[in-house]
Structure 1
Amino acid sequence: MSSTNTSSDLSSEMEVDAFRRLFPLRFHERHLLESIRPDARPLGKARDTSLALGAVASAHGSALAKIGCTTMLAAIKMEVMTPTTESPDEGCIVIDFHMPPICSPIVRPGRPAEAAPVVSKQLSDTILSSGMIDLKELSLVSGKAAWMAYLDIYCLDADGALFDAALLSAVAAFSHLEIPVVSLNEDGRVVVVSEEDAGKLEKEAVNKEKRKLKLSTVSFSLTCILHKNYILADPTAEEESIMETLMTVVLDSSFQLVSLYKPGGPVLACTSAIQDCVALTRQRVKELQKILNEAISDMEVD
């Protein structure tokens, strides 16, 4: 009897899996009728999220962020540069988003992923336009030296909502960032000083000790799928592949709108869907702010 039940259950699972592969949209729409998703989440709920600071020991700031299976590793390296004549009192931030073949079956070796430059541009626009970082904070000596912050984000697992996870990892990495000690050498050049040599400087350091970068605000995002009359928060890669209309809302920690991004899909006929997405994002920002604060607290305790 037990063997018969096991065989029946296995056959049923195979039928469901076959239906899901052959008719993915119909499969998901059957769940939508019951206001639930295949992974048992309510439509407006994001996946479980975790954050770890200091994931890369050799970086000046780093973080590992996971939203469901989507995983991002962010690392920041600081270098001294000569500022531009247009902005003599400002540093610079360079952001690169990488999608190696290990992150997804659709990313082929030797071919750059189509999504990578799009996410890179979104991240740069969001971080710079949000006012999160005052570039004057990266200045060392006016007109002579400033910091160049290289932020590299590596997608280790691409299972949907890539921008949301990438932005979370970037914000966390900047929250973890410690700006190194620098000094003027005999030639008048600004050089980075190691921790061992910091106490042996003949000339006074430009900044005497490592310091945290002051963040004016932080920004978080939530990507939603708009399908018929339904709104699905934090979609998986499967959901993104079968439902066309995506919308990403970015809010800062004061819930002010930073940006709204909608690539392709039909034109929305009403503003209620946008308002609903913003409301879901407000709730998500509270969750992510709490997760970030807990990660910072854990780092300070360690």
Structure 2
Amino acid sequence: MNSTVSNLERAHIIELIKNGKRIDNRGFEQYRNISIKTNIITKANGSAQVKLGETYVIAGVKAEVGTPFPDEPNKGAFTINAEFLPLASPVFEPGPPDENSIELARVVDRGIRESKTIPTEELCIIPGRKVWLLWIDLYILNHDGNLIDASAIAALSALATAKIPCIDVSGDQIKILDEKRNLNIKSFPVTMTFSKIDEQIILDPCLAEEEVQSCRLTVTITENGNICSLQKGLNGCFKPAEVLKIVEISYKEAPAIREIIKSMVK
């Protein structure tokens, strides 16, 4: 992506970091405010809008009956896609998904998949024949940094409040009923992204901070304390001690963030 921060602003951000400050006056380990609204799209099976500071993401879940993959005949499946709308940032351009939107979708997907948030075997209708397929679409409406965490929260919130039709199975025949049921959400993983700026580690970078970061690390932690996903971005590197520090901060901050999400999707 092209930069939206001038050289003077870059120097200012780095100088603030050196002096133990951030451009928005947060602490180095402090998240921005999180706001979640669910069931905002009437035609979706589940949906959520998330604001993380000024970053704004919408997630929608659509369910359809389909055929299972040959290597997993007794499991349903889900797919996550991300779209960067041009109105969200002057650096987003119309066209097919670029490497940034593909990476975003993959990181969010990995956190949900590896945490076993959705027991896909419960999406099976007729083994080898019919399963539920879930399409989770992410739309970036305003980009002010840390799209990964905002998108992960949106996807999880949409899934946690999604409803799919009950199905009556008779032999090889199925009948989709008017009655609906919730998805069985087994885990509430928390995804947390850290940036490295001038040898300092900060949590939840805003867009201006992302412009001067040398590298990025995203950690996803399950409720039982397992790290189920790690994703490094950009060309810089983290020292082993820095990775351990990031993990330590993640363990400390994840429970509070998880409770915020849970309280807003009830």
Q: Same fold (TM over 0.5)?
A: yes
Partner of 1:128: 113
CA contact (8 A) 1:181 1:192 kept: yes
CA contact (8 A) 1:177 1:213 kept: yes
1:111 CA drift (Å): 5.8
Aligned equivalent of 2:248, options 262, 268, 279: 279
Partner of 1:3: none
Say if 2:126 is the partner of 1:156: no
Partner of 1:206: none
Distance, in Å, in 1 between the alignment partners of 2:29 and 2:69 is 46
Matched residue of 1:242: which SS?
coil
Partner of 1:8: none
Moved over 6 A (4+): none
Partner of 2:73: 88
CA contact (8 A) 2:36 2:265 kept: no
Structure of higher RCO (CA pairs closer than 8 Å, 6+ residues apart): 2
CA contact (8 A) 2:49 2:57 kept: yes
**Aligned partner of 2:254: which letter?**
V
Distance, in Å, in 2 between the alignment partners of 1:169 and 1:154 is 10
CA contact (8 A) 2:194 2:201 kept: yes
CA contact (8 A) 2:111 2:191 kept: no
User: RMSD value over aligned CA atoms?
Assistant: 2.0
Q: 1:191 to 1:155 in 2, by over 3 A?
A: farther
- State how many pairs are aligned: 262
Report 1:170-189 matches (<5 A). 170-184=155-169, 188-189=172-173
Q: 1:260 to 1:85 in 2, by over 3 A?
A: closer
The share of aligned pairs that are identical, in percent, is: 24
Larger radius of gyration: 1
The TM-score normalised by the length of structure 2 is 0.91
Matched residue of 1:259: which SS?
strand
CA contact (8 A) 1:153 1:166 kept: yes
CA contact (8 A) 2:68 2:76 kept: yes
Deviations 1:42-81 (A, max 9, x none): 1211111111111212111111111111111111111011
Q: 1:22 to 1:128 in 2, by over 3 A?
A: closer
CA contact (8 A) 1:107 1:113 kept: no
Q: Which runs of 5+ in 2 are unaligned?
A: none
Report 1:135-214 matches (<5 A). 135-184=120-169, 188-193=172-177, 195=178, 209-214=179-184
The TM-score normalised by the length of structure 1 is 0.81
Distance, in Å, in 1 between the alignment partners of 2:31 and 2:261 is 16
Say if 2:215 is the partner of 1:245: yes
Distance, in Å, in 2 between the alignment partners of 1:176 and 1:66 is 17
Report 1:225-236 matches (<5 A). 225-236=195-206
Q: 1:21 to 1:134 in 2, by over 3 A?
A: same
Distance, in Å, in 1 between the alignment partners of 2:93 and 2:221 is 33
Deviations 1:150-170 (A, max 9, x none): 111111111111111111111
Deviations 1:11-52 (A, max 9, x none): xxxxxxxxx834222201221233111111112111111111
1:113 CA drift (Å): 4.1
Matched residue of 2:265: which SS?
helix
